[in-house]
Amino acid sequence: MESFNDFQSLGNYELLAIGVGVILLGYAFTVLRKPISKVPGPSYTKFTDVYLKYIDMSGRRPEYVHALHEKYGPVVRISPGHVSVMDPAATQQMYSVKKEFRKSTWYQDFVPGPSSVFSTVDVDYHRRHRRLLASEISESGLVIHRPVVDSKVRLFTERIAEEMEERGVSDIYRWALYMATDVIGELSFGSSFRMLETKEENQYIIDLKSVSFAGGLRATFPTLMKVTKYIPIPVLSLGMAVRGRLFEYGAQSLERHRKLVEEQGDDAKPTLLSKLYRAREKGDETLPFTELRMDAMSYITAGSDTTTNTLTYLIWRVCKNPDVKAKLVAELQTLPADFGDQDLKGLPYLDMVIQETLRLHSAVPSGLPRVVPAEGATLCGHFIPGGYTVSAQAYSMHKNPAVYPDPTKYDPSRWEKPTKAMKDSFVPFGGGSRICIGLHLAKMELRLATARFFTRFPNSTVSTLDGFTDKDMEPWSFFLMSPKNNRCLINAH
């Protein structure tokens, strides 16, 4: 009875403190009983993802997660519900075609609104759209588009030469972005965005440069993004504004193509989205305009930034490595004067240079989140229950010293005789049924642009004009990766 009297004598603050303590102990007990609490990782990741969100907004997530792998091993807990792996076998298991780990809802937060072939988590939706898109952008389907791609690449080198003449240096990042934008515009919608022609940095280009940061904001703070519709939050409003303008770009591009088809009829040239248009027109499959618009938006964003960044880092890396450049230029000198992409596919060292650039500078270096199937999965000896999120990030997979000796060294020759582990760990385009649909187009652009550039400018070097240094090329990662200062100055001569 005495203890009961003591309890009655407690004040409101003491009772509140006891209540909060009981709740926290209960929460801690629940968390510690969760299966992934036994997965190696920092203790705070058992309770919160706040620090991970902070890292996300700093643009350094790949480096942070990789540091955790270096400390804790091939499997590491990065938040209360998310496990990252750095293991070839586990990665193949997670991104397998046969036993699908579905995309997480993170993609819907990254690109909110109606689903697209990129963002959908619905397997049937994805299969339907990919079936209509895949043949046009396959290796064989792209053959008819070679002249268009090559014409844009040739104009890319002309613009570099002009800027070099006027300024004494050329910004490769700028012209690569304009080139990739024009290629995807003409191949998708039958008409170019004319960035290489006008040479102007308009709002569209500004939005392309910020699309990854805006998407990162949306994915990191999905709830606040909904609030900002009604109560504007300056930084978060950027994500909403960019999304809105990209929707409009997609709608405008579709409308331009519709007019071209109406004017040209059966003579209208085929595009990467042709089957989607025909399916809508013939009624073979119902494709609402919103679905067409979302796929169009995915193409004009994913088809621009990824190729831009890879090409920029490739030219920068080769120009910094005289031995690599000499070997590449020597191989290119064996080409006929009128070479085309079909000639480039037979050049082994060119392919090795592209592979090594994709390894060290993947356009998407962060983890591609997947949801563990209902029955759960064992990854690197740890059982992960169904419903939890897992991912493997290219940044870590490509820097695994057990797979790639001296992993930070830029060494194209390592691909002369790649091991099975190297092939299994190589994931610059993702994997499984959700592997990047545009990988063949990206490789064609990289082959042609690399060959045209180093054939035209075999003595190119990295510039120091305007204070340009290697620090400008430090990666800035918000799902997509780009040079921190969005420039790469090269002495093109």
Q: Which residue spans within 80-137 are E strands per DSSP?
A: 82-85, 102-103
Q: Which domain holds residue 449?
A: 34-491
Residue 8, domain member (yes or no)? no
In a domain? residue 12: no
Q: For residue 384, list its beta bridge partners.
A: 377
pLDDT tens over the chain, length 493 residues: 444 344 345 455 554 554 455 444 444 444 444 679 899 999 999 999 999 999 988 889 999 999 999 999 999 999 999 999 999 999 999 987 666 788 888 787 777 777 777 778 888 888 888 887 788 888 998 999 999 999 999 999 999 999 999 999 999 999 999 999 999 888 888 777 888 998 888 777 777 777 667 667 677 777 666 666 666 666 666 667 777 787 777 777 777 777 777 777 667 777 877 666 665 555 555 567 777 777 777 777 777 888 999 999 999 999 999 999 999 999 999 999 999 999 999 999 999 999 999 999 999 999 989 999 999 999 999 999 999 999 999 999 999 999 999 999 999 999 999 999 999 999 999 887 778 888 999 999 999 999 999 999 999 999 999 999 999 999 988 888 889 899 999 999 8
pLDDT for the residue numbered 278: 60
Tokens of 164: 């070099």
Distance between CA 193 and CA 203 in Å, rounded?
A: 12
d(CA 70, CA 66): 6
Kindly state the DSSP code that residue 9 receives in the 8-state scheme: T
**The whole model's pTM is what?**
0.86
**Mind giving me the DSSP string for 104-117?**
PTHHHHHS-SS--T
Q: 390: buried, middle or exposed (CB in 10 Å: 19+, 13-18, 0-12)?
A: buried
Residue 155 in any domain: the answer is: yes
206's CB contacts (< 8 A; 6+ apart) are: none
- pLDDT, residue 264, reads 72
Report if residue 7 sits inside a domain. Answer: no
Is the residue at 346 inside a domain?
Answer: yes
Cα angle: 441, vertex 447, 450; to 5 degrees: 130
Q: Is residue 19 part of a domain?
A: no
Report the C-alpha gap between 35 and 23 in whole angstroms: 21
Does some domain include residue 9? no
pLDDT at 89: 92
Alpha-carbon gap, residue 486 to 473, rounded angstroms: 8
CA 470 to chain centre: 22
The pLDDT of residue 1 is 43
> How many residues does this entry show for the chain?
493
Q: Classify residue 137 as exposed, middle or buried by CB count within 10 Å of its CB (0-12, 13-18, 19+).
A: buried
DSSP 430-459: --GGGS-TTHHHHHHHHHHHHHHHHHH-TT
Residue 342 lies in a domain: yes
The CATH number of residue 326's host domain is 1.10.630.10
The number of domains in the chain is 1
DSSP 209-236: HHHHHHHHHHHH-HHHHHHTTTS--HHH
